[in-house]
Each structure stands twice: as C-alpha cells, then as structure tokens.
Amino acid sequence: MPQQLETIKITAEQILSHPTWDAILLFVLLAVGFFYGISAGKTRVAATIIYTYVALAVFSVLPTNKLASFFGGVEIFLVKIVVFCALFLVLAFLLGSRKKRGFAPASSWWQIFLLSLLQVGFLIHIILSFLPEEKIKMLAPITKRFFANPDLHIWWLVIPIAVIVLLRRFESDN
C-alpha cells in the first residue's frame, strides 16, 4: 500500500508540475461548465444533459464516413467531433428555452455544480471516444482513466440521467 501511495504522489507531482495540454483543456472545460451551470441554473443544465443524449442518438445513425470523405483529407475523428458538437449545439439552441432567467434560479449550489460537472464530463467522454487509440495514448493519465476509458462508457451514459432522476425525486419529496 505505501508503494501505491508513493506512485500516486509522484504521478500527481508530475501532472501538477508539467500539466499537459489535455489536462489544461480539461480544467478549462470544467471551469466553463461550472460557470455555465451557475448562470443557467439547474433546470437548463438538466435539459442540456438530455440534449446530449438526443445528440448522441442522432449522431449514431449519421453516415460520418461519407461526411469525412466529403471533406477530403480531414481525419475522420475530427469530422466526428465537429459533427457531434454542431449537432449538440443546434439541438440545444432549437430545443432550449428562450426565456431570460436570473442568476442561478432557485436551486441548491451543489445540485447545479453536480449537474454541470456531469454535463461537462459526459461531453468530454463522448468527444474523447471519437479519438483513435494512438491519440488516446498521448492523453494525461487522469484524462485517460476517467474520460477516455471505454470501460467507463456505460457509467458515463447512466450516471448523468440517474442523477437527474434522483434530484427530481429529492425535489418532489421536499
């Protein structure tokens, strides 16, 4: 056990002393997700999580290989990322509410933080799942373990919706 703790400590020191670009990007995305959650509120973030599921379902039936050939020499993973992000943004814009809301409307801060963290993590997981294996090998260990790990795919699909259901139950009990 002490050897494992020493390995974790050394790895953490390496990451913190020389952060990789994907670790910096991960931090930026988490910060953006947090501030988005605070400004949008729990209801809108929960709806955005649902839009992510819809975008993923629609994306799964799109002929991305044909789209990649249309764009010529562009890597297929880049085409997949752009198409998924565009689909997600279009759905969020078209299905999203146009009502102006105030700053963090009537929700607990921890619920908003949890939902926004799950939203950003879910999006990061989906986007990283489009990368080829050789690109995934270049990611930081934490990013590979939690976001690019195909063994965690089912958990990234289940946990966000399960949390929405639990928060809804918790809210209706009060």
- How distant, in Å, are the alpha carbons of 33, 38, 62, 106, 168 from that of 42? 12, 8, 30, 8, 11
What residue segments make up the domains of the chain, in order of their start?
A: 21-173
* Alpha carbon 156 to chain centroid, angstroms: 9
Answer yes or no: are the C-beta atoms of 102 and 44 closer than 8 Å.
no
pLDDT for 30-57, tens place per residue?
A: 787 778 777 878 888 888 999 999 999 9
CA pseudo-torsion sign 114, 116, 119, 125? negative
Locus of tokens 């010529």 = 72
Give me the tens of pLDDT residue by residue for the chain, a chain 174 residues long: 566 656 666 665 655 555 566 667 667 777 877 787 778 788 888 889 999 999 999 999 988 878 777 777 678 888 899 899 999 999 988 887 655 554 444 568 788 888 888 988 899 899 999 988 888 888 877 788 888 888 999 999 999 999 999 988 877 766
CA–CA distance, 50 with 109 (Å, rounded to integer): 20
Task: Compute CA 2 distance to the chain's CA centroid, rounded to the nearest angstrom.
Answer: 33
Q: Measuring CA to CA, which residue among 58, 22, 31 is closest to residue 117?
A: 31
**Number of other residues whose CB lies within 10 A of the CB of residue 143:** 20
Q: Say how far apart CA 158 and CA 105 lie, in whole Å.
A: 26
Share of the chain above pLDDT 70, in %: 77
pTM, two decimals, is 0.77
The span from the CA of 5 to the CA of 127, in Å, is 31
pLDDT of residue 103: 46
> Tokens representing 21?
């670009």
Shortest CA distance to 110 belongs to which of 166, 38, 55? Answer: 38
d(CA 143, CA 152): 12
